[in-house]
């Protein structure tokens, strides 16, 4: 067994002992799984290239730009010997809070709390520092780098490929984040685990848009997570009704997995649902300015799609689940300076009027539109959101941080 020279206060240790220390350290700083695979060509690189060629990635052109690196991690870090695959549980238990009779929207679990990219990246920096003590050079990624992470995670035995294309872990179910550390150190690899899905196809049947076209086959352009997050323009008309009340992502194929019965609540409190965004009536979001949006979703994954993308999603959800009480806010949104928001607000109004048999003139006759509150100070925005603004403004006045 190769011996590694380490910190001057340490004795030489074997690769096996180094791996044991690494796993212990990873758990100590908050990861729920730490496993290793050899740094080789991605097992499903050929299938990935075919998927790109068939346009399965929709408008995610960045996947094409990094195609070679995604298939061969040696092009990411020349000389890499091992890939350390880390997993972190984000299951919060229960449901995102509500308590309002007005229409509210569903947000994918992973976005209930703080942005996992920032939190996990800081922990990866610790892993990098740990391995540098042993002479390793590393590249670290959390869902952002040119790495086919689920392929390498399956090779490491972190889980197996579910028919939804998501990874499944027998302890964590489907509720976990992945991160990878490519290193020039050679570490003993772990064994893959067998596919334990059997004949189950609950995830395929649960998909609202039919995006899972066959076991292990995904048409991303139909996936609600893609439509509400990755897609920058208009949501296709035929798919809007299928989105329902989802305003950021979709958990349907994850939530139905039987392996989630073993899922435990995460020990990471940063992933807990934010009270200021739990159960907010959809129409109240339409009052948000750019600045207010940034404040409300500061340090949240939702900030990624910006106000234009988020309010587009809100309009689609209102078109699907809203009623006459939402028409005033939507009418104002038709005059939004962002054409994408205005377009989807007009569609939502048409949907609500058709669904409830409302004449286009009813709002004007009753004064519903003219007399509705107009500003962020109005009663249409719950006090808990205003409190969020006030806390952030106080913090901003006491520090030099910008948002």
Which value, to the nearest 10 degrees, does the dihedral of the CA atoms of residues 63, 64, 70, 72 take? 180
Q: CB neighbours of 100 closer than 8 A, spacing ≥ 6?
A: 279, 280, 281
User: Token pair 């990755």 is at which residue?
Assistant: 230
Active site residue 114: no
* Distance, first Cα to last Cα, the chain: 51
Q: Which of 118, 125, 128, 143 is catalytic?
A: 143
Q: For residues 99, 100, 104 and 110, what is the CA-based torsion angle, rounded to 10 degrees?
A: -20
CA–CA separation, 111 and 250 (whole Å)? 10
With CA atoms as reference, report the closest residue to 277 among 314, 318, 228, 250.
Answer: 314
For 9-51, the DSSP string reads TSPPEEHHHHHHHHHHHHHHTT-SEEEEEE----TTHHHHHHH
Helices (H), ranges, 90-219: 116-132, 149-156, 202-206
List the structure tokens of 85.
């695959």
| Angle of CA points 275, 278, 99, to nearest 5° | 110
How many angstroms separate the CA atoms of 400 and 259, rounded? 46
Dihedral sign from CA coordinates of 13, 17, 22, 28 = negative
Nearest to 270, CA basis, from 95, 96, 118:
118
Catalytically active residues, by annotation: 143
């Amino acid at each position: 067994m190769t011996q590694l020279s380490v910190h001057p206060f340490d004795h030489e240790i074997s690769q096996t002992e180094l791996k044991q220390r690494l796993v212990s350290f990873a758990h100590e700083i908050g990861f729920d799984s730490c496993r290793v695979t050899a740094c080789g060509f991605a097992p499903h690189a050929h299938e990935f290239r075919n998927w790109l060629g068939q346009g399965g990635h929709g408008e995610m052109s960045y996947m094409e730009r990094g195609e070679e690196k995604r298939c061969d991690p040696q092009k990411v870090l020349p000389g890499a010997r091992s890939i350390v695959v880390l997993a972190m549980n984000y299951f919060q238990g229960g449901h995102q809070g509500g308590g309002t009779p007005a229409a509210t929207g569903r947000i994918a679990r992973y976005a209930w709390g703080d942005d996992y990219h920032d939190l996990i990246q800081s922990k990866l920096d610790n892993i990098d520092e740990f391995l540098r003590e042993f002479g390793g050079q590393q590249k670290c990624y959390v869902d952002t780098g040119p790495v086919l992470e689920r392929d390498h995670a399956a090779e490491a035995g972190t889980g197996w490929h579910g028919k939804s294309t998501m990874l499944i872990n027998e302890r964590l179910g489907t509720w976990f984040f992945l991160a990878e550390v490519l290193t020039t150190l050679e570490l003993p690899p772990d064994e893959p685990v067998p596919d334990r899905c059997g004949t189950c196809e609950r995830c395929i049947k649960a998909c609202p848009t039919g995006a899972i076209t066959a076991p292990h086959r995904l048409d991303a352009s139909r996936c609600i997570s893609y439509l509400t997050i990755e897609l920058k323009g208009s949501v296709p008309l035929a798919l809007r009704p299928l989105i329902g009340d989802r305003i950021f992502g979709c958990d349907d194929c994850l939530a139905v997995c039987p392996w989630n019965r073993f899922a435990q609540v995460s020990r990471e409190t940063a992933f807990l649902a934010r009270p200021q965004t739990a159960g907010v009536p959809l129409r109240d979001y339409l009052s948000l300015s750019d600045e207010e949006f940034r404040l409300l979703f500061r340090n949240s994954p939702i900030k990624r799609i910006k106000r234009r993308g988020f309010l587009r999603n809100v309009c689609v959800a209102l078109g699907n689940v809203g009623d006459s009480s939402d028409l005033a806010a939507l009418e104002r949104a038709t005059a939004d300076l962002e054409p994408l928001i205005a377009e989807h607000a007009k569609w939502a109004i048409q949907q609500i009027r058709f669904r409830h048999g409302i004449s286009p003139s009813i709002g004007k006759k009753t004064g519903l539109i003219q007399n509705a509150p107009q500003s962020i100070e109005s009663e249409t925005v719950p006090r808990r959101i205003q409190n969020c603004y006030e806390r952030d403004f106080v913090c901003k006045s006491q520090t030099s941080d910008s948002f």
